[in-house]
Structure 1
Amino acid sequence: MYIIPGHHHISMITKNAQINNQFYQKVLGLRRVKKTVNQDSPTMYHLFYGDLTGSAGTELSFFEIPNVGSTVRGTNTITQIGLLVPSFESLVFWKQRFEQMDVKHGEITSYAGRDALHFEDTEGLRMIILNNNGEEVPERWSAWEDSIAPQQHRILGMGTIEITVRHLERLAQTLTDMFGYIEVSRSDDEAIYQSVAGKSFGEIVIKQQEGPSEKPGKGSIHHLAIRVKNEEELRYWDAVVKERGFHSSGIVDRYYFQSLYFRESNGILFEIATDGPGFTKDSTVEALGLGLDLPPFLEERRAEIEGILTPLD
């Protein structure tokens, strides 16, 4: 059986691409690695932020939906995103930066066995800065040297992802029995799983919570994508998903990677995505994220699309 080597990307909803663009580049110091559109609804932006090239495992992605309302928090949803930083001193740096920039945040505490700093972006998206404590990260991650954050405190990539559901055991079985995740801790209403033993870049915390499902809005999380190496592995997982009785979208060519989508029993949307070809398929490393990049099937609509989108820069 193939293994899942970690998170690939995570996708959220933003109401305002300009404000979103400002926060993730100028506050968090991430690189905007791709400015494109939602391929299923090309009149809305799809923005990706990450490391130098938007390596799998570093990508935060946002769909702009200008008429979206506020999130009504509840269960059966992805609730928090962990972002890894090099050290405890990095947590202190980010706490001070959030205070200076009026970013909503808490005190330095612990989460999933790591030093942690909870904070929210301008639309209420919940995130956690996590101390990676000098531990190994994927080789493909590469620092963006023009980040506003000092080199020793830069965000490395995605860490622990929290998912809140009514039925913990159903999601736990999907992760362990289907994908081979390892259970590292368990209590009555919380469990932690890792796709690679001892590594937080493939870690998922499941929390069990009764009540109504979350109503998505600005600052809510749409789906989590997990990594596979290539199309061969993706086809393997497509068959596994179907064998388990889940509905699979089938393989979808997203130009920068290939994907499939399915919902597990609580309704959580997962994407399985290939590592490549990556965002440099239609851009040099130096030019990543500067212009509006469109997949070939949308290129003939460029003038129409650019006429609808509000310029970001």
Structure 2
Amino acid sequence: MYTIPGHHHISMLTKDAQINHRFYRQVLGLRRVKKTVNQDNPSMYHLFYGDLTGSAGTELSFFEMPNAGKTVRGTNAITQIGLLVPSYESLIFWKNRFELWNVDHGEITKYVGRDALHFEDPEGLRLVLLNHDGAEIPDNWSAWEGSDVEQEHRILGMGTVEITVRNLERLAKVLRNLFGYTEVSRSMDEAVYQSVAGEALGEIVIKRQEGASERPGRGSIHHLAIRVKNEEELRYWDKVVKEHGFHSTGVVDRFYFQSLYFRDLNGILFEIATDGPGFTVDSTVEELGQALDLPPFLEERREEIEAKLAPID
């Protein structure tokens, strides 16, 4: 019986890769660990940010869609991303930094029992910094020393992810019965589930909300990927997903990891992704995120692909 050790990555839409890079690199101090393309549509960038090597659990990824309109917020969508920071003092640091950079943000408050600071990126993507309160971080996370942010306040990795749906129990059953997440709290309109007891790194908050479904656009969240160790475990989960009556894509080779995709009955798109081989499979650690990297099956189309992409830093 395999278990889910936490989030793997989360993927969003951006209208402008250059603005996106400047915010996540300069303001949030994350490392761009891979500049590649959407493998299903190579005309658009796919950017990944994270720690030193883009370890599983630290990755924020963005598909560039220059024609993306404004997100019309609603239900049946992944609606907020939590990012862990070391301490309460870190939240004060980030509040001051956001004021300096004119980032839209709130006051320090509480969210799912943790000290929190809500903010939005330039395209309206909702994020929240969460106090990790000095707790131990996963062995596979490695700090990037090239960050502009002071070491004691740097973003560590992904924390609580919020999903808003009309039918809370449909999603709760997927987390509880299919993946073995533990329910840690429950009310009429909110439930909190953890893949690792007491840890935010695999935590999902389900919120119940009636109304129209979200219409995606710039700053919307496309899917959440949860983490498995290797292809053997992935094939196990592929079988389990199908046994629970969901349609699975089957195992897809994404070169940097293996994955599969399915939707719950609310239409939420999940990916299950392996830890490896990782972003250093075609780059040195020092050169990560600098050149345009393409998976081998797209390499012969490099000239055509590069001609359609606007240069970014």
- Please state which band the TM-score falls in when normalised by the shorter chain: over 0.9
Distance 1:311 1:69 in 2: 22
2:81 match: 81
2:255: which partner in 1?
255
Distance 2:283 2:17 in 1: 21
Q: Distance in 2 between matches of 1:30 and 1:101?
A: 16
Q: Which amino acid aligns with 2:241?
A: V
Residue in 2 that maps onto 1:182: 182
Match of 1:34 in 2: 34
1: CA distance, partners of 2:260 / 2:138: 23
Could you list the runs of 5+ residues in structure 1 that have no partner in the other structure? none
Residue 309 of structure 2 is aligned to residue 309 of structure 1: yes
Contact conserved, 1:182 with 1:195, CA < 8 A, in 2? yes
Corresponding position of 1:60 = 60
CA–CA distance in 1 between the matches of 2:145 and 2:112?
A: 30
Task: Indicate whether 1:236 and 2:250 are aligned.
Answer: no
Structure 2 unaligned spans of 5+: none
What SS does the corresponding residue of 2:312 show, helix, strand or coil? coil
Residue 138 of structure 1, CA deviation: 1.1
Secondary structure of the residue aligned to 1:300 is helix
After TM superposition, the runs of 4+ consecutive aligned structure 1 residues lying more than 2 A away are: none
TM alignment of 1:156-305, pairs within 5 A = 156-305=156-305
CA deviation profile, 1:235-292 (whole Å, cap 9, x unmatched): 0000000010100001000000000000001100000000000000000000000100
Q: Aligned partners of 1:135 and 1:176: how far apart in 2?
A: 25
Q: Percent identity?
A: 78
Report the 3-state secondary structure (helix = DSSP H, G, I; strand = E; otherwise coil) of the residue aligned with 2:170.
helix
How far the C-alpha of 1:99 sits from its partner, in A, is 0.3
Q: How many residues align?
A: 313
1:47 maps to which residue?
47
d(CA) in 2 for partners of 1:135, 1:268: 30
C-alpha distance in 2, partners of 1:18/1:276?
Answer: 28
The reply to whether residue 18 of structure 1 matches residue 34 of structure 2 is no
Q: Let me know the Cα RMSD of the aligned residues.
A: 0.4
Give how far 1:136 is off.
1.6
Stretch of structure 1 that moved more, 222-231 or 131-140:
131-140
Aligned to 2:131: 131
Normalised TM-score (structure 2): 1.00
Contact 1:137 1:201 in 2 (8 A): no
Give the C-alpha shift of residue 28 in structure 1: 0.2
What secondary structure, in the 3-state scheme, does the structure 1 residue paired with 2:175 have? helix
AA in 1 matched with 2:291: G
Q: TM-score, normalised by structure 1?
A: 1.00
Aligned counterparts of 2:294 and 2:184: Cα–Cα separation in 1: 41
> 8 Å contact 1:261–1:269 — kept in the other structure?
yes
